[in-house]
Chain A
Amino acid sequence: MVNTKILTREFDYHRPASLAEAFELLAEYGDAAKVIAGGTDVVPQLKYEKIAPNHLVALTKISGLSDINEDSDGLNIGACARLRDAKQACARGPGHAALHDALRSIGKVQVMNMGTLGGNLCTASPAADSVPPLLVLNGRVTLANPVGSRTLEIEDFITGPYAAAMAANEIMTEIHIPPGPEHQGSAFLKIARVAADISKLSCAVALQRDADRCVSCRIALGAVAALPLRIKGAEELLGGKKMDATLLAEAAASVSAGIRPISDVRSTETYRRQVAAVIFKDVFDMAWQRAGGKS
């Protein structure tokens, strides 16, 4: 019987002090091991019997994994940095506004204190709020393995619902967001039932603006397909064009047509399709204004 009061699954708990030690544990236990950081996804998965590990490998004692720093190359957020610290880091630069909006919207204080950005990405929920902003802001993730590391664009990292291109012996160490071009504006909005809730749908836009011309634009939506996705049709429609209400409406229609929503406990296909067009326009306007000037 699914139990939400106690954890019925029995497992051993390991808190390696270094990545090397963590890799040793993963090598020893293989499929029977599950990595855990804040636990806000892993513990519910244990409670709902979605996973059945014999060993939990906690990353919270490994120094360096929660570091956040910024340089001319961009913003680097450690995979185990708490969401509240990641949010604070994104507040600094206008180039990270969409991610800041998203982290603000994930919202509940307790989850911001416990959860990590790395965890949000590795769980790879189709409704993950951090993914659409990272898609439009050209985010990259670094995955370490026992002998080195590799970097992936976010687009290549998330491969399907709750599926990421990460091997069993890899550990995410860092999320990188480049500084972005000049005159960039970005924004993110989500629709949910209550203030602290999983998204019905979400939208992120990052654009580069020159007076009344949209130089380039990236659009991504979450919770409206098997994975968060970019709407390249709408992006092409707007790229290089002079903005006006008609063009924006055309782009909104293209967004609506480009998504593949389903009906589930949180919303219906019809609602998602209709509202996607509406919040896309709102998000675009916000990004446009942030890029300097009136819409």
Chain B
Amino acid sequence: MTTTEYIKPGDLSDLHHLMEEYKGRATVVAGGTNLIPEMRNGEKAPELLIDISDMAALSFIRENNGSIAIGAATTIAEMAASPVLLDNSPILASAAKQLGNPLTRNRATLGGNLANASPCADTAPPLLALDASVEILSPGGKTRQVSLSKFFHGYKFTDLAKGEILTGITFPKPNDSTKGSHTKIGLRNAASICVASIAVALDMEGKTCRKARVAAGSVAPIPMRAYRVEKLLEGKEINAALLEECMAVVKEEISPISDIRGSLEYRSYVTAMILKRNIKRALKQEI
């Protein structure tokens, strides 16, 4: 590792000053669970690290006015154990619980997982299914919001401009008629980069689906929404035949690759399989 300067801002005004002073030259780090390995293998050599891991202002999970907000410096472990998330958005808690291992989860943060923007980012599919928006802090103290579905532009390439910092996410608190389910497929039960994942959130009126959100991870350059599957489900009564159609359509929407963790064909096969499984589980019934 090369020599790097390191600063730890105390509060948000410190952070604003630093952002003004260093504009895009600094690398923001929280848990470091992606950055440190990249620095060790020479992929990245930041001149200056701004460490936001200890900022109380960015570390929270709260419910207010019908929406849930999570600060960027909130650790994955906190998310996995949060009563707010377990009660309101268990699919997000489920994804958090399956990220890495307990040690990683104690340091890794929501902001890091999203800003790193790996196609395999574990928290992204549930957040996409929850219609989450990203909160961004720009130099000069301005803030802006971007829908997560518009945040990922390409492989590890986000809407963050140079010098901007992801400060948190918000999503509307799901109501009682929303049913969700999430599955992550990996090579192991822990410490496993995702091979394929599906998160669904279905707003049901009896047997009819009023609104569908279906998101997939690790099967495209970005964490993605399966818009065609959603359209297929919305307004319909969900039955076995519709599920078979959804399975066929999701295979067309995703664009998996073959790599050391699995083949394109297997990813395609298993994504369709867990889509069906998750819709059935969300509805808690045999269709």
Determine whether the beta carbon of A1 is less than 8 Å from that of B258: yes
Q: Mark B110-139, 1 if CB is under 8 A from A, else 0.
A: 000000000000000000000000000000
Is B266 engaged at the interface, CB distance under 8 Å to the other chain? yes
In the bound complex, what is the Cα–Cα distance between A3 and B264 (angstroms)?
A: 10
Q: List A contacts of B258 (CB < 8 A).
A: 1
As a 0/1 sequence over residues 1 to 39 of chain A, the CB contacts with chain B under 8 angstroms (1 = contact) are 101011010000000000000000000000000000000
Interface size on B (CB < 8 Å)?
6
Contact between B269 and A6, CB atoms less than 8 A apart:
yes
Nearest opposing residue in chain A for B270, CB measure: A6
Which range contains the number of A residues in contact with the other chain? Answer: under 10
- Within B235-287, the residues touching A (CB, 8 Å) are 258, 263-266, 269
Q: Which residues of A contact B269 (CB under 8 A)?
A: 6
CA distance A3 to B256 in the complex (A): 15
Q: Specify which chain A residues have a CB less than 8 angstroms from the CB of B266 in the assembled complex.
A: 3, 5-6
Chain B residues near A8 (CB, 8 Å)? 263, 265
A3 to B266, CA, bound (A): 8
**CB proximity of B171 to chain A, nearest CB, Å:** 35
How many angstroms between the C-alpha atoms of A3 and B265 in the bound complex? 8
Which residues of the partner chain B approach A3 to less than 8 Å between Cβ atoms? Answer: 263, 265-266
Q: Which residues of B contact A6 (CB under 8 A)?
A: 265-266, 269
**C-alpha spacing A8/B267, complex, angstroms:** 12
In the complex, which residue of chain A has the Cβ closest to the Cβ of B262? Answer: A5
A1 to B260 alpha-carbon distance, docked (Å): 11
Q: Which residues of B from 26 to 76 have beta carbons under 8 Å from A?
A: none
Q: B265 to chain A: which residues have CB within 8 Å? A: 1, 3, 6, 8
By a CB distance below 8 angstroms, the chain B residues around A5 are 263, 266
- Give min CB distance, A161 to chain B, whole Å: 29
* Chain A residue, CB-CB nearest to B265: A8
Quick one: closest A residue to B257, CB to CB?
A: A1
Q: Which 7 A-B pairs have the closest CB atoms?
A: A1-B263, A1-B258, A8-B265, A3-B263, A6-B269, A6-B266, A3-B265
Name A's B-contacting residues (CB within 8 A). Answer: 1, 3, 5-6, 8
Given contact pairs A3-B266, A5-B266, a sample of 12 additional A-B residue pairs in the complex whose CB atoms are under 8 Å apart? A1-B258, A1-B263, A1-B264, A1-B265, A3-B263, A3-B265, A5-B263, A6-B265, A6-B266, A6-B269, A8-B263, A8-B265
6 contacts between A and B (CB under 8 A): A1-B258, A1-B264, A3-B265, A3-B266, A6-B269, A8-B265
